[in-house]
Structure 1
């Protein structure tokens, strides 16, 4: 079917016309490369690439600060491309020989959030920043703008190859609530979204009636965010709850399980606080309450202690009433899988979105493109900690797939990174199984030459890691991408090419949502709120510039030896 995402005819013809001219330049510069193997692309290297709509062309940057320090965003210069040669050299002339093998998009850490849920601890955000974000009420509007960007781009900027698929690498929801999963699936497959729970006619979250610990956009009274230059926006909360529509992706999509899809706020053992989801009261402790530090400490190191702490708050408060909503109930891993077989969210497919059986496991294989295979892994440990691990049954299954598809190039996808798979404790979801950590998984993957990349999220930070094996054909890249909830709010295109010289390239251009850089507080349309979503995230009190990663972890060409040649 001509024009479909899987129309692969004449793909090699794109190589000479639309690939980076940086190939030959990088080869000439290789002898002078630094010890780290990094080579910066020359000026003009993007002239033959279609960089429009990516961070190669332009990115959001802060403008002048107003009183309090708040900065409007504006358009800035794009980020450069880096050619990284830690695993293979960049040969001259490869730009004229390349063939496109695959092109897809990675989303990660969207954190679709029911901001009015009583099952949240916003009041600990002075200690645990992710507990509350001023932009989180606009998450679905921001995600729709990202879907629109992906659809508008349609092809990779280096190859011109249509996107084969989109993969969301976990923390698709923030608090594994059924309504959050419903919104996430409608975002990707298309449909109406009404980001409201509880009362139908009013906002019942902390931004309407909480303490001065939060940005309260419709109140004239001060709060710690207004002290930093946030302004009053009448009608903001009603606009945030308004029904809007996602067009859905134009390409098949797949989802990976993350710790926020698995547990209460991604850290609390299932069952300990499940009564909070359907509660009729929402706790809101003032900043002087000593219980805040106790709860924050328990979240970080001893989640099981939260039961008694929150049980006491049921008696003492402080709290305010909210409308119970059955749609807030938590979903299990098995329900997560089954929901992907719902005909209402099939969208561009495939049926099941990669999962093999409605009652099957939370891991699976899928075809990215002919000769290129994906393996979706579940690295979550449900004992009540944010970091991950893997049971023996799943690890052995992954190794069998790598052997089964030995004649294909394989990429594995997970939520956690190799450095955040440190949960050595037993996993209640895999009783009796030994747990393997990040170093164990890296060692296992190195045993299989057809494994070329591990793509993940979780850290909300851009990072590229070269994993060198016993020889060049047993080496692979780990590609970690920033989130779409915290600034810089990115997703990543990955394009895989055969360079015709015994090497592969993986191009990794980052993209932003399709929304105006400079937000207009008077524009409360869905598009205007999407713009405000990004701007608020930059001005969050907990903004962390480290999440951008190094320039050499953003837009890259990653070289590696072709393992099948």
Structure 2
């Protein structure tokens, strides 16, 4: 019996790729409001169990490839600015071409006629679904760093649902036509590590109605009606800096519309979840003790602004990693207690624990298209771990890592326990192709702060993981996020594929199709997609669809927005050649 046939399944699994042996047809940051996750590692029992969970039941399971189509992808069109300087409206722009990259293998002629599909799936990351009225938000740093707060954050929920709608509308892989096996979200699913945000994220992904509001249900209580000129006030004549410097419009009824109930159809294909630093650390950075953070998060006081000199110092120190446990930040919050705004307390804003994060994923209310737990299992719950492996298709296995350092700071690492589990898992799957997922990209995994729950356990960097993957050439790709920027990097024997976020423009997700070219090479096709929201906006249209379009346009115009997040052409729509081991 092969190693892969010994894998134990924890959810109903359909091996769709066994039926797709026929040749497929060929077709043409961070934290504190930036790209600045929590958990541990999986015991052998948890690893063996979750190393098995395959895509859940689907109507299209086993379906033959359809005709390849570029519909809904950036091969066909992209959002592009219109007009001159100042606030710019968006419209339909040209698509991005596919770039063939031969850094790791040559491109043989005729491969498009021979190739067969191993798997196709969607990668989304850094949704940052946000409770914009939460008391523990670090928007008060905007006085010293303009990008510490985004004017479009109140629309993160409708933006995420518009992405779900786009994925549901895809006809399959744009190169192979193969049905999509699953979707994977690689962390920063929430923004403030809050229980209500976790419920909103799970509902958006699995389907249902949710209301992205907290505190007083009849009155917005956040920085956008604070009277402070540091923030865009959409419903006020206040000449705030976003209206003055960036030309942001006045939109009456915006806040009321942004906080009303959202309906999500939920993903119609199985989806898996990976944890990010914003899912487990306050602001994606601070390892506050839970008692203090809970009291602050659920209480009645909210700090909205501090002097610019203080904000600049805090931001600078945080970028250096000087305050991972939040000691300085706690002192600042206490020093400004009298400057805080009174808001309505709300228990739903409490930070979720590791146990609560796992239990929520296992809640039957959020199973949606499956699998149950979305990669996490009861073994993870008992072991207190947030990494797992799962069967993608015959001959292909996925591994989801927990790269957040519980000791604090937005950079990542893995503990020795997780590293040893990863080594065993790779050794057990020598006969499979392996795809690794994590929140942090390799260069951002340099955080060696010890886990407070495991002070004797060493932490390990992205460079160490890269070395491990090169010793296991069955690893085809390491897929991640965190930087909010598209980047594709050859790593000797595998490709590192980093996908942009869905909160910062250009708000993208990525289709990945993997094929065997039957000439000693494999091809990894990457194709970016935008949400289903229209390119053009109408400020008078405050429907869910209209707000999703506005979400994209506001993100494009946000002060401090980086114009490089789409990456270069070779980081976008690609064919990545790889030698077959």
Query: Distance between the aligned counterparts of 2:529 and 2:183, measured in 1?
Result: 13
Contact 1:12 1:98 in 2 (8 A): no
The question of 1:393 aligning with 2:393 is answered no
- Shift of the 502–126 alpha-carbon distance from structure 1 to 2, 3 Å rule, reads farther
Secondary structure of 2:298's counterpart equals: coil
1:319-343 alpha-carbon deviations (Å, 9 max, x no partner):
2211010000001222211211101
How far the C-alpha of 1:8 sits from its partner, in A, is 4.2
Aligned to 1:340: 361
> Does residue 574 of structure 2 align to residue 556 of structure 1?
yes
Tell me the alpha carbon deviations over residues 470-511 of structure 1, each in whole angstroms, 9 at most, x when there is no partner: xxxxx0000000000000100000001001111111101000
Residue pair 1:82, 1:555 contacting (<8 A) in 2 also: yes
- Is residue 233 from structure 1 mapped to residue 251 from structure 2 by the alignment? yes
2:110 paired residue among 93, 100, 103: 93
Unmatched runs of 5 consecutive residues or more in structure 2: 1-12, 29-66
Offset from partner CA, 1:152-172 (integer Å, 9 cap, x none): 004111111111111000100
Question: Who is 1:278 aligned against?
Answer: 298
Higher RCO, 1 vs 2 (CA within 8 Å, ≥6 residues apart): 2
Looking at structure 2, the residues matched to 114 and 546 of structure 1 have their Cα atoms a distance apart, in angstroms, of: 27
User: Quick one: distance in 1 between partners of 2:131 and 2:318?
Assistant: 20
SS at match of 2:24: helix
Q: Could you tell me which residue of structure 2 aligns to residue 62 of structure 1?
A: 81
Secondary structure at the counterpart of residue 221 of structure 1 = coil
Residue of structure 1 aligned with 2:536, choices 495, 499, 518: 518
The Cα of 1:220 is off from its aligned counterpart by 1.0
Provide the C-alpha distance between the structure 2 equivalents of 1:216 and 1:544, rounded to a whole number of angstroms.
22
Runs of 4+ in 1 over 6 A off after TM superposition: none
Question: What pairs up with 1:11-26 in 2 under 5 angstroms?
Answer: 11-13=20-22, 15-16=24-25, 19-21=26-28
Superposed counterparts of 1:3-402, under 5 Å: 7-8=16-17, 11-13=20-22, 15-16=24-25, 19-21=26-28, 49-65=68-84, 69-227=86-244, 228-271=246-289, 273-285=293-305, 288=307, 290-300=309-319, 301-303=321-323, 304-314=327-337, 316-317=338-339, 319-357=340-378, 358-360=381-383, 361-402=385-426
Q: 1:14 to 1:140 in 2, by over 3 A?
A: farther
Aligned to 1:449: 473
Structure 1 stretches lacking a partner, 5+ long? 22-47, 469-474
Q: Tell me, what secondary structure is at the counterpart of 1:202? A: coil
CA distance in 1 between counterparts of 2:23 and 2:358 reads 37
Q: What is the distance in 2 between the residues matched to 1:448 and 1:407? A: 11
Q: Is 1:428 matched with 2:452?
A: yes
Q: 1:515 to 1:110 in 2, by over 3 A?
A: same
Q: Deviations over 1:443-492 (max 9, x none)?
A: 11111121111000000000011011xxxxxx000000000000010000
Cα distance change on mapping 1:8 and 1:234 into 2, 3 Å = same
Q: Distance in 1 between matches of 2:563 and 2:453?
A: 36
| CA distance in structure 2 between the aligned counterparts of 1:245 and 1:278, rounded to whole angstroms | 26
- Provide the secondary structure at the position in 1 that maps to 2:512: strand
After superposition, give the CA deviation of every residue in 1:199-235 in whole Å (9 maximum; x if it has no partner): 0101111112241111110001110011121111000
CA contact (8 A) 1:123 1:213 kept: no
SS of the counterpart of 1:212?
A: coil
Note if contact 2:484-2:500 (Cα within 8 Å) is conserved in structure 1. yes
1:467 paired with 2:486, answer no
CA distance in 1, matches of 2:127, 2:147: 13
**d(CA) in 1 for partners of 2:453 and 2:163?**
33
* CA positional deviation for 1:431: 2.5
Partner of 2:515: 497
Q: Deviations over 1:283-310 (max 9, x none)?
A: 1226x45432343344333332111111
Q: CA deviation at 1:115?
A: 0.3
Question: Hey, what does 1:478 align to over in structure 2?
Answer: 496
1:268 to partner: Cα distance: 0.9
**Aligned residue in 1 for 2:34:** none
CA contact (8 A) 1:5 1:163 kept: no
Matched residues in 2 for 1:154 and 1:206: separation? 41
Alpha-carbon offset, residue 131 of structure 1: 2.8
**Secondary structure of the corresponding residue to residue 102 of structure 1:** strand
Q: Say which is worse superposed, 120-129 or 400-409, in terms of deviation.
A: 120-129
The structural deviation recorded for 1:346 is: 0.6
TM-aligned CA distance change 1:93 to 1:363, over 3 Å: same
Give CA deviations for 1:221-250 in whole Å, capped at 9, x if unaligned.
Answer: 110011121111000000001112100000
Say if 1:494 and 1:509, in contact at 8 Å, map to a contact too.
Answer: yes
Q: 1:255 is paired with a residue of what secondary structure?
A: strand
RMSD over aligned Cα, in angstroms?
Answer: 1.6
Aligned twin of 1:534: 552
CA distance in 2, matches of 1:101, 1:130: 41
Whether 2:438 is the aligned partner of 1:406: answer: no
Comparing 349-358 and 248-257, the one that deviates more = 349-358
Moved more, 188-197 or 357-366: 357-366
